[in-house]
Amino acid sequence: MNILKAIVFVVIFTTFTKLSNAQEITMFPSFWGQKYYQDDKEITKKELETLMKSDAQLEKFWKRSKLQNTLATVALVSEFGFAFWTGAEMGQDNDATIPLIGTLGSATIAAIFFVSANNSKRKAILGYNQKLNSRTSLSLEPIGNHNGLGLALKF
């Protein structure tokens, strides 16, 4: 009976220590942008920005992603302008080569900046998660060998 109590204690303690470290941030795409979660709880972009300001490197990645997202939006708006210009030129049977090149060029630039913004966000979130995991310098891990079951203190 004592062995059963010890095993139950080890399992509960290990589960508790593993769950207490879990405060990771995840990012999921949604129809209107990104949704951010800290464990099971959805957090706002403002709350995420506050978390990113805790470290200078993470804040740098986050600010870079905001800048790249702004540049991508500007390129996307210019793409729509070029597309309307292309349509107007084609409607008048004029040469639409230059507006078409502008449309394709600004679409390419917008795509590049959107991908770069997502990569910078991902780097910031992964950096936060790694910092969070490395913060715990010791933990109790269950071990078992030929001598029996026990707990090991890992540094």
Domain count for the chain, please give it.
1
User: Which band of pLDDT confidence, cut at 50, 70 and 90, is reported for residue 62?
Assistant: very high
Residue 53: inside a domain? yes
Token pair recorded at residue 130:
């790694």
Angle at 69 between CA 112 and CA 62, to 5 degrees: 110
Residue 2 lies in a domain: no
pTM of the predicted model, to two decimals? 0.68
Percentage, residues of the chain above pLDDT 70:
83
Tell me the pLDDT of the chain averaged across its residues.
84
User: What does the pLDDT look like over 27-39, one tens digit per residue?
Assistant: 888 888 889 998 8
Specify if 58 maps to a domain. Answer: yes
Residue 105 lies in a domain: yes
The parent domain of residue 94 ranges over 22-135
Q: Domain for residue 64, yes or no? A: yes
What integer pLDDT is reported at residue 17 of this predicted model?
53
Question: 76 lies in a domain?
Answer: yes
Is 155 contained in some domain?
no
Q: Check residue 142 and give its pLDDT.
A: 81
* pLDDT score at 135: 55
Coil vs helix vs strand at 153: strand
59 residue type, one letter: E
Those residues with Cβ within 8 angstroms of residue 119's Cβ, 6 or more apart along the chain or in another chain: 65
Contacts (Cβ under 8 Å, ≥6 apart) of 71: 109, 113
Task: Identify whether 1 is part of a domain.
Answer: no
- CA–CA gap between residue 70 and residue 38 (Å, rounded): 25
